[in-house]
Amino acid sequence: MGCVTYVTGDGPDQPQPRMAFIGDALLIRGCGRTDFQIFTLPKETLLYPAHDYKGFSVTTVGEEMLYNPRLTKDKETFKNIMENLNLA
C-alpha cells in the first residue's frame, strides 16, 4: 500500500480554496514524511494533516514555508536535526 494525498480545487470547475488532505506527509509546525512534495502546491492551499500533536487542525503551504521550524532550514541543518532526534 502506498501513500496518497487528496487535493481538491485543482481545476477551473473545482471548489475553492484548494485543500489537501495530507495524512502524515506534514505535521503543523513540525515534520512528517519530507519526501512528499507538499511545497509544490500553491501557497494558499489549505493543508489538513491526519493528526497533530499540538491540537492544530489546518495550516497552509505558505504558513509552513514561513514558520515550520524544521522545514525553513537549509538541507544540511535539516539533516543534522533529523539525525540527532534519537528516534531509533
3 state SS of 47: strand
pLDDT in tens, the chain (88 residues): 456 666 776 667 766 678 888 888 888 888 776 666 888 888 999 999 888 788 889 999 999 989 988 878 888 988 888 888 877 6
- Single pTM value for the model: 0.74
Q: State which H helix or E strand residue 48 sits in.
A: strand 46-49
* Strands of 6-8's sheet in order across: 6-8, 19-23, 46-49, 59-60
Distances (CA, A) of 13 to 18, 42, 60: 12, 17, 21
